[in-house]
Amino acid sequence: MKLPYRQAVEAICRANRIMLAAHVNPDGDTLGCVLALTHALRILGKEVVPYSAHGVPDIYEWMPGASWVQTSGPPQDFDLAIICDAGAINRIGSAVAPLAESAPLLINIDHHVSDGLFGDVQLVDARAAATAELVYHLLRSLQAACHQHLLTTEVAVCLMTGIITDTGSFRFLNVTPLTFALAAHLQRLGADPAPIAEQVFENRSFAALQLMGLAITRMEVSPDGQIAWSAIGYEDFQRLGAVDADTEGIVSNLRSVKGVQLGILFREVKPGSVRISLRSREGCDVTKIARVFGGGGHKLASGCSVEGTLEDAVSKVVAEATRQVSPP
């Protein structure tokens, strides 16, 4: 499949005022892409505003350019909007979506399995391990077209962060020889993986580890041993002084139990509103479960939200998962 990099390059060259948007509950990939593009497009003299409706979680605050990120803003005359790592336009949040929608041209850069593509130029490839891989190719094309060095150390660090986080440090099934080739180039450009991994994975708050302990203590496993789940209530977050970003990594621990095919983490982010993360092993496509509840994502990592009590959410989603994963 050939992606329209040339069209994206031409759109960027023509634009002066560009807005970039990350998805809600931002991760290292969406932020890495938005920040890498912000650095590079500013080198080209563009006026660039990076948005992340949910800001920058503590574990990513060290990323070069993190302080530039805006959570919302008044309407502005952007010539171009670029959305990174969001399977649907509403995934950038209601505070930012109108800004992107009012731009005359929209570039969608993504690697999610998507039902409907959005945007005027679509750099979308579900085989890419991270959206950062696609941004890397775009920047190479842009570099060649503009005869300017764009893959600076800052840009490389941002892209490496996206690749490390979306591949679980090069452990997931999405990793290809291209992922390693690209990472090797980024490291030569100054993006050492070790300090990035340390910042992201070994710099956690006390509350985050307590939350992990709580979730693991409460873990339940289905009678056939195929589904493991756990639930964190709003009151638990309050009591431990934890935030939703502190749940990072918990769901993959649920899936790591021997024999478990599917891990599900439920958390009541505010009373009556439950966020759900699903992680599976190969052979079990969790987008099918997430979609039943209006969510989506990747085959092995998806998410959705359910309104109602934590107990209701657990019973509905576990029942659906059981229907799909371990029918009687």
Binding residues (CB under 5 A) for Mn ion: these are 29, 85, 131, 166
303 binds ligand 5GP (CB under 6 A): yes
Which of 9, 25, 196, 227 touches ligand 5GP by CB under 6 A?
25
List CB contacts of 239: < 8 A, sequence separation 6 or more: none
Q: What does 261 interact with, of ligand 5GP, Mn ion, none (CB < 5 to 8 A by kind)?
A: none
List CB contacts of 180: < 8 A, sequence separation 6 or more: 170
Nearer to Mn ion, 85 or 268 (CB): 85
Degrees, nearest 5: CA angle 85-89-93: 90
Spatial separation of the C-alpha atoms in residues 118 and 98, rounded to whole Å: 14
Single-letter amino acid, residue 301: A
> What number of chain residues touch ligand 5GP (CB under 6 A)?
15
Nearer to ligand 5GP, 39 or 111 (CB): 111
Nearer to ligand 5GP, 65 or 296 (CB): 296
The region of 57-65, 99-107, 134-142, 290-298 touching ligand 5GP under the rule CB under 6 A is 290-298
Nearer to ligand 5GP, 64 or 295 (CB): 295
The region of 42-50, 137-145, 201-209, 296-304 touching ligand 5GP under the rule CB under 6 A is 296-304
50 binds ligand 5GP (CB under 6 A): no
Pair of tokens at residue 255: 């899936």
Spatial separation of the C-alpha atoms in residues 8 and 296, rounded to whole Å: 26
H/E element holding 8? helix 5-14
Helices (H) and strands (E) in the chain, counts: 12, 11
Tallying the residues shown for the chain, one arrives at 328
Question: Which spans of this chain sit near ligand 5GP (rule: CB under 6 A)?
Answer: 23, 25, 87-88, 91, 277, 295-298, 301-305
